Amino acid sequence: MKIRSASVLLFSRDLDGTAWNPAFRWTQRRAPLLVLETAQGAYGLGEAWSRYDDLRSVLDVLSSVVAPALAGLEVEEPLGCAERLRRQGGARAAAWAEAAAFSAADMALWDAAAREAGQPVWRLLGGAHGRAKVYASGGLYRDGQSLQALRDEARGYRHRGFDAMKMKVGGVGMAQDLQRVAAVRDGLGEEAELWVDAVGQFDLESAFRFGREAVAHRISAVQSPLPADDIAGLALLNRKAFPVVAGEAEHDPIWFGRLLEAEAVSRLQYCLALCGGFSAACRLDDRAQAAGIRSTPQCFSTAIAQAATLHFAAARDNVETAEFHCFHDHLAHLHLPAGVRIGDGCATLADAPGLGVAVPWLGSHPDGSVVAAVARFQA
């Protein structure tokens, strides 16, 4: 497979600012995108993670290192190709920005290879079926939202075919958060699974207290109860308070190894747009399995990263469940017809080649998003 051109794009979408989590109020969502075109006319799409306050670092790596290296490249096998390019180039930027940029490259190479082969990515990854267990990711804080509205939101996910949900906590007082959790549990019903995401806002004392108080609401797991660098604290909570999920904003394999060695999580979490794409996520899932735990890929952005997350989850037996974001569902109209169907708690993917996502056009999109060109390199 020869890469004929590599284009860097910028996705952006203005939001009304009424929805927020404990760390950030959503007035805008932006994401760096990568589009590859092969000599056979196939396309490959990738998306890179970025920090809220530093998108430029990732765009710079994509434009100055990744895209030029890919244009004209002959690729025999997508597995590990982006990682080899990264090692050959040497460190030129912050480690997280390089990791995110080359994650987009890996994602796009797998998509392009699958489209050339006329196969969905999940099958190219070795999967036997295009079906992934998913949870509805929502339950953000919203200005003026009543408990009844939150209850209705949870009930709506059940009606859509989800049987699990994740919501935010840690942004208001404990008593108010517990009321919110109770409302969501009521909307979901007793049989549905409920996770909460504290976005690293608890300390040990408040995390233990939350665990004690939330028992009545049957919380299955708590994501990021403490800051990511407090591995000892996470391990203590995982042993004595509740199952811990962590890893979404990390990229360093050494950090993931320490997390597993400390038995600090009950489910290993990682983001394909940051950890190294499909190739690195396969290794992380293997390490989780070797440690005796399941894994769960995270996602919050456009249809490109969402599709990649679902294809990966469908292909890997050790993945317990994948995030299906119901707030950050940007560019969802790019899913090809019959691309993703939700039912019985699972996302079923169509047999469309690659990720099953159309190439985003430049300019305005129906959901209010705007896609702009940043750089293009041609063989």
**pLDDT given for residue 338 in this prediction:** 79
Residues 321 and 189 in one domain: yes
Is 356 within the bounds of a domain?
no
pLDDT at 91 over 80: no
In a domain, 355, yes or no: no
In terms of DSSP H, where are the helices of the chain? Answer: 56-61, 67-70, 81-89, 95-117, 121-124, 147-160, 174-188, 204-213, 231-240, 253-261, 272-275, 277-290, 303-315
Three-state secondary structure call for residue 328: coil
- 310 occurs within a structural domain: yes
pLDDT band at 339 (very low <50, low <70, confident <90, very high): confident
Tell me the mean pLDDT in the region 214-243: 97
> What's the pLDDT tens digit per position in 301-321?
899 999 999 999 999 999 999
Cβ-contact 272, 71 below 8 angstroms: no
Average pLDDT, the chain: 97
The pLDDT confidence band at residue 89, using thresholds 50, 70 and 90, is confident
Do 299 and 370 belong to one domain?
no
**What pTM did the predictor assign?**
0.97
Is 77 in the same domain as 108? Answer: yes
Q: Are residue 110 and residue 128 in the same domain, yes or no?
A: no
Tell whether 160 and 234 lie within a shared domain.
yes
Q: What is the CATH number of the domain that holds 199?
A: 3.20.20.120
pLDDT category of residue 290 using cuts at 50, 70 and 90? very high
Per-residue model confidence (pLDDT) at position 16: 97
Same domain, 110 and 215: no
| Percentage of the chain lying above the pLDDT 90 cut | 96
pLDDT tens digits, 164-217: 999 999 999 999 999 999 999 999 999 999 999 999 999 999 999 999 999 999
Domain presence at residue 190: yes
Q: Are 154 and 181 in contact (CB under 8 A)?
A: no
Residues 296 and 213 in one domain: yes
Domain assignment present for 13 = yes
Average pLDDT for 72-95: 91
CB 45 within 8 A of CB 107: yes
Residue 378 has pLDDT above 80, yes or no: yes
The total number of structural domains that make up the chain? 2
Q: Is the pLDDT of residue 337 over 90?
A: no
Would residue 354 count as lying in a domain? no
**Residue-number span of the structural domain to which 103 is assigned:** 3-119+361-378
Tens digits of residue pLDDT in 44-57: 999 999 998 899 99
Question: Is 172 in the same domain as 115?
Answer: no
Per-residue model confidence (pLDDT) at position 92: 78
**CATH code of the domain in which 9 resides:** 3.30.390.10
Task: Answer whether residue 60 shows pLDDT above 80.
Answer: yes
Same domain assignment for residues 202 and 333: yes
From residue 61, alpha-carbon distances to 78, 95, 153, 203, 259 in Å are 20, 11, 39, 35, 28
Residue with tokens 């407090």, as numbered in its chain: 230
Residue 126's pLDDT band (cuts 50, 70, 90): very high
Residues 81 and 10 in one domain: yes
What number of other Cβ atoms are within 10 A of residue 333's Cβ?
13
Give yes or no for a contact between 169 and 180, defined as CB atoms under 8 angstroms apart: yes
- In this structure, how many other beta carbons lie within 10 angstroms of the beta carbon of residue 98? 21
238 located within any domain: yes
Q: Collapsing DSSP states into helix, strand and coil, what is residue 222?
A: strand
The pLDDT of residue 44 is 98
> Would you state the structure tokens that stand for residue 150, as one six-digit string?
């939150």
Q: Are residues 88 and 138 in the same domain?
A: no
Report yes or no: 223 and 198 within 8 Å, Cβ to Cβ: yes
Q: In sequence order, what are the beta bridge partners of 38? A: 3
Residue 133 has pLDDT above 80, yes or no: yes
Q: What is the mean pLDDT of residues 239-265?
A: 97
- Asked if 138 and 97 sit in the same domain, the reply is no
